[in-house]
Structures are given as C-alpha cells and as structure tokens.
Amino acid sequence: MKADIGHWECEFDFNPDEWFGFIYRVLEINTGREYIGKKQFTKLKRKKVKNRKNRKHVRSESNWKEYTSSSNYINESIESNGIEQYKFVIESLHKTKGSLFYAEVKKQIEEDVMRALLPDGVTRKYINRFVSSVKFIPPQDHPDEIKYRVKKK
C-alpha cells in the first residue's frame, strides 16, 4: 500500500516513519523558477511534567503533507494564484538531522541557487534567498580568485 504523501510527488515509495526528513524542489510551472528546501517528517516538543525538573521530549508528525515552503514568495503566490501553479517534488530522503541539513546545503551550492539565471539571462532561476539560513547575494567570481584556486591533479 502506498503511503499518503499529500500534494508531494515522489518517484519512489517510502515509509515516513523510517526517515527523519526530505529534500524537496518546488517548481513554479508558469515561470520555470524553482525552490530547493528541506522538511522534517516529525517535530520535537518539550512537555512539562509534574514533579520533574526536566521537560519530556515528545515527537509527533510535522505538517509535512500540507507544507508548501518556508518561502513567503511561494506561500503568497499560492494564496493568490492557487496551488495548481506549483509542482512539489520529494528528491531525497535522509535518516538524520545532520544528513538532511548537509544535503540541502550541498544541493543548493551545487545548483548555484543564489546566482543561476533562467535562459533569458536576467531572471533568477531560483526563488531561494538563503543557503543554510545565511542571507547573502554572492558577488561574481573575480579573475584573481579563479587564478589562485588550488587545482586538482
């Protein structure tokens, strides 16, 4: 039996209970723009327990089935234009928090989400404004920086 994965598309079957989280891609159908992010399957809450100094950790399912993105741009666009304008794809599953966070940063850097442009050469391809919660617009490579990079043998 296939698991209920909400509005997400996925090329493989999986049991969310066996995984910590996933890397996803949101595609804006009418513009070709994209967003790469991560989402956890569960959330951790600290619950007060009577006669106990420490709080108890309680895990419960996150809102991942209905989740669209942490991007305000995407969420506002969904509000005004409808969710049908977007495609939501689960690209990879991860067993640990460290693996999930690393995979997101790796994918964002490999795809150059801060600088990549659409074929028109003007419009940014990715909606992402952050890499690993760091907001910056990287400058173009300077010729001296390229000159002094270590070359692989």
Residue 22 pLDDT grade (very low, low, confident, very high; cuts 50, 70, 90): very high
Contact assessment for residue 39 and residue 21, using Cβ atoms and an 8 Å cutoff? yes
- What are the tens digits of pLDDT across the range 54-70? 877 778 899 999 999 98
- What are the tens digits of pLDDT across the range 100-134? 988 999 999 999 999 999 999 999 999 998 887 65
CATH of domain 16-40+66-147: 3.40.1440
Sequence spans of domains, the chain: 16-40+66-147
**Backbone φ, ψ for residue 98 (5° rounding):** -60, -45
What does pTM read for this prediction?
0.81
Nearest to 41 by CA among 26, 56, 27, 59: 59
